[in-house]
Structure 1
Amino acid sequence: MGNEMSNGTSNENTYPVSSRGPADHDVRDQILHAATEHFSQYGYVKTTVSDLAKAIGFSKAYIYKFFPSKQVIGEMICANCLREIEAEVRAAIDEAERPPEKLRRMFKAIVEASVRLFFRDQKLYEIAASAASERWQAALAYEERMQQLLQDVLQQGRLSGDFERKTPLDETVMAIYLVIRPYLNPLLLQHSFDHASDASAQLSSLVLRSLSP
């Protein structure tokens, strides 16, 4: 495993394949699917690229043609999971009309989706934990998008008069993000799991009281 592990640089390209044809795209998807299955069974840390090659029936060199390291494979799998959470959160926000309800739904969707995705498969959880601890680009980009989504809701609330406007917006965004971060970050989520069922309602109520004009 040693030499096949990436050094974990966060600026490594998450999507290394640029303009390949349909056949190559299918092979890449096949590798990702097999990797997901293998990681689910044996864990991300214990699996090597050689293990994946044997499981798929490809040579290790052929896998490296599509993915320069195991981390890149893990990043793409992690990114897919994070997109699922983000899509669910966005859908929940869009269902509400007023900013306060949007914020409540955002908290609820984040907690429920994160808990479900990160704990339905303990082996795949290792990938999310690695992404968070090593600051993979997929995890960093996800955090930025969630902060932007939160900022959008807060801006709407300020324009509608539902939220106070005295505190600098960036300061408010970061403060609220830190409140919900234990349910977004898998390393923190494992310590917040016992309170997850009540967290979204209690935390969103607390935040909304602080936002009152």
Structure 2
Amino acid sequence: MTTLMKNSHTRGPLDHSVREQVVAAATEYFSHFGYEKTTVSDLAKAIGFSKAYIYKFFDSKQAIGEVICSNRLAMLRDIVLSAIADAPTASEKLRRFFKALVEAGSDLFFHDRKLYDIATVSSRDKWPSAVAHEAQLLQLVQEILLAGRQSGEFERKTPLDEASHAIFLVLRPYISPVQLQYNLDTAAEAAQHLSSLILRSLAP
């Protein structure tokens, strides 16, 4: 683990610089030892700052975890937005939306298991970052549905909020980090079959 020390030739790093150093070091530390097994004292010792100094920038371990979780969830959303950006129809956007979410979540689980645990804790304990992430995904579903209704692809009788929430509930076992880890074996197949089922239900 690389020790982060303040530069003795400067007046001290800017607040955002120190925060970035703590987050970067915490991301590395958590990826090795896991979020729940790590204390702020462990982290302070590992990165070369005092515990009190870290508390000047983060009021708890969760606050550090929140930043890491927000960063990871933002990366996931970027993957989804990139996947659906050039979809020619709303139907195709919905297919790609589900497929990209499942693939990105599964990739994080298999290749960065310790950091996946942070996403799981955030979802389980309803951290603000996780709540905001779900709200943004739900909003994206609503936007896709609205586009599909405007183009004539989707039915218009069901209230928009009811339809979007129903779709989100269907996708939840493969979107939520807590549930996805138990559904990995069927995730890829589900991405295809459930999106097809949803699209049939949306037909005008």
Normalised to the residue count of structure 1, the TM-score between the two structures is 0.88
- Does residue 211 (structure 1) correspond to residue 195 (structure 2)? The answer is no
Q: Which amino acid aligns with 1:161?
A: G
Distance 1:150 1:118 in 2: 23
1:22 deviates by 6.8
Residue matched to 1:138: 129
2:17 maps to which of 22, 26, 32: 26
Q: Which one scores higher on RCO, CA 8 angstroms, separation ≥ 6?
A: 1
- 8 A contact 1:102–1:153 mirrored in 2: yes
Residue matched to 1:105: 96
Q: Name stretches of at least 5 consecutive residues in structure 1 with no aligned partner.
A: 1-20
- Does residue 74 (structure 1) correspond to residue 72 (structure 2)? The answer is no
Q: Which amino acid aligns with 1:181?
A: R
Q: Name stretches of at least 5 consecutive residues in structure 2 with no aligned partner.
A: 1-11
Which string of whole-angstrom CA distances, capped at 9 and with x for unpartnered residues, describes residues 98-134 of structure 1? 1111111111111111111233222212211110111
Q: Which amino acid aligns with 1:151?
A: Q
Segments of 4+ moved more than 3 angstroms: none
Residue matched to 2:105: 114
- 8 A contact 2:155–2:202 mirrored in 1: yes
2:183 maps to which of 172, 177, 192: 192
- 8 A contact 2:30–2:114 mirrored in 1: yes
- 8 A contact 2:91–2:199 mirrored in 1: yes
- Helix, strand or coil: the match of 1:151? helix
Residue matched to 1:202: 193
* Aligned length, in residue pairs: 193
Query: RMSD value over aligned CA atoms?
Result: 1.2
Q: Which amino acid aligns with 2:30?
A: F
- Does residue 38 (structure 1) correspond to residue 29 (structure 2)? The answer is yes
- 8 A contact 2:35–2:115 mirrored in 1: yes
2:83 maps to which of 92, 105, 114: 92
Normalised to the residue count of structure 2, the TM-score between the two structures is 0.91
Residue matched to 1:180: 171
- 8 A contact 2:66–2:129 mirrored in 1: yes
